[in-house]
Amino acid sequence: MKAFYKSSFSKSASSIYGDLPDPVANTKQLLIEVKAVSINPVDYKLNNADTKFLPGAKLPKIVGTDFAGIVRKAAEGVSEFMIGDRVYGAVSIFLGKPGSMAELLVTEPKNARHIPEFMTYEEAASLPVAALTALNGLRRCGINVGNNLLINGATGGVGHFAVQIAKAKGAKVTATCSQKNSDLAKELGADVTIGYTAAEKANISVPFDAIFDAWGQMKYKDYSPILKKDGTYASPLILFAPAFMTNLIWLFTRKKITSSNMRKRPEDYAEIEKLFSEKKLKPVIEHIFPLEKASEAFEFAEKGRPRGKIIITI
Ligand SMILES: NC(=O)c1ccc[n+]([C@@H]2O[C@H](COP(=O)([O-])OP(=O)(O)OC[C@H]3O[C@@H](n4cnc5c(N)ncnc54)[C@H](OP(=O)(O)O)[C@@H]3O)[C@@H](O)[C@H]2O)c1
């Protein structure tokens, strides 16, 4: 099969497009013909990293997390998935497991969901990591109807889903984004948009009930003054502030600082799928590349400041 994979652990050796043996599913696994995958920052961060320290590291290492495709071999004793079913989901590439950027993927049924009606493979592949991370970030923010919410980095993969989910939950959304993306942020539902310059940020007068930092790298000195007492700041990145620091901040300021990873329980997927079917959530797909151009797609995702998601089709 064709795949996009790392053939060396070295960080200077990015993934290559080429042939690998077809994977073989055991009786408990699904064999999926992959139709589309999306790129998330974790994919290019791993692509650029020395991966020999990953748990269970081995070569060749197929990269990629999100996938959408068709079941070609069903697991025994699992009635939920049949040959020919359209499925999507996210795989873990740790513990020696293969990523999704290949013609064929072998994975456990727990990593797959049926693709809802009227959802394309490209749309399905765009959702898992980014939309579920946005959903969990907003959950951590405790968003309710009428809450005043700031979403920082509002038109990227995570941010553009966060704006739509927050609006569906009835929040008043202020979005920060590059000037060129201001119209997109408004189309997604943002009530107010702000650029990144100090002058534009200085216009923020209302303190927010919550701040979801989809970009993930805001500084405490920037978000604390615009966050209400009892408000929450959530970032999808691991925060390096030690727990005692965040506890101290909570004690003295009553401001909660939290890290919010992707959470992928069935009820999380179901919430995203419901929003999609109600037309309250629609992936923005900036660019679609074929698998043989995966290197270009990675370059664009990492350096091209994409809007929404970058998809690779197979
Ligand atoms: N922990 C998890 O489970 C998890 C899951 C998914 C993502 N993440 C992390 O979340 C982060 C965002 O992921 P993503 O998929 O949304 O990435 P992305 O698609 O590359 O989007 C990045 C966003 O950041 C914005 N941005 C760039 N410079 C900025 C600045 N100086 N101030 C504010 N915003 C800025 C960009 O906006 P403009 O283009 O308008 O400048 C863009 O909207 C990444 O670091 C990723 O690793 C974590």
* Tens digits of pLDDT across the chain (314 residues): 999 999 988 888 889 999 999 999 999 999 999 999 999 999 999 888 887 777 778 889 999 999 999 999 998 888 899 999 999 999 998 888 899 999 999 999 999 999 999 999 999 999 999 999 999 999 999 999 999 999 999 999 999 999 999 999 999 999 999 999 999 999 999 999 999 877 777 777 789 999 999 999 999 999 999 999 999 999 999 887 777 888 888 888 889 999 999 999 999 999 999 999 999 999 999 999 999 999 999 999 999 999 999 999 99
Q: What is the pLDDT of residue 9?
A: 86
Residue nearest to atom 37 of ligand 1 (CA): 153
Instruction: Kindly state the tokens that stand for 209.
Output: 């009930």
Atom of ligand 1 nearest to the CA of 181: 40
Residue 235 is given by DSSP the state E
Whole-model pTM: value is: 0.96
What 55-59 contacts at long range (C-beta under 8 Å, 24+ apart), as own/partner pairs, is 55/94, 55/95, 56/94, 56/95, 56/96, 56/97, 57/9, 57/96, 58/96, 59/6, 59/7, 59/8, 59/9
The preferred substitution site among 39, 215, 264 for testing ligand 1, maximizing ligand atoms within 8 Å of CB, is 215
| Domains of the chain, start order | 2-127+283-313 (3.90.180.10), 130-259 (3.40.50.720)
Q: So what's the pLDDT on residue 12?
A: 80
**Atom of ligand 1 lying closest to residue 154 CA:** 43
CB atoms within 10 A of CB 4: 29
At residue 280, the pLDDT reads: 98
Q: How far apart are CA 272 and CA 90, in angstroms?
A: 14
Contact predicate 272/281, CB 8 Å: yes
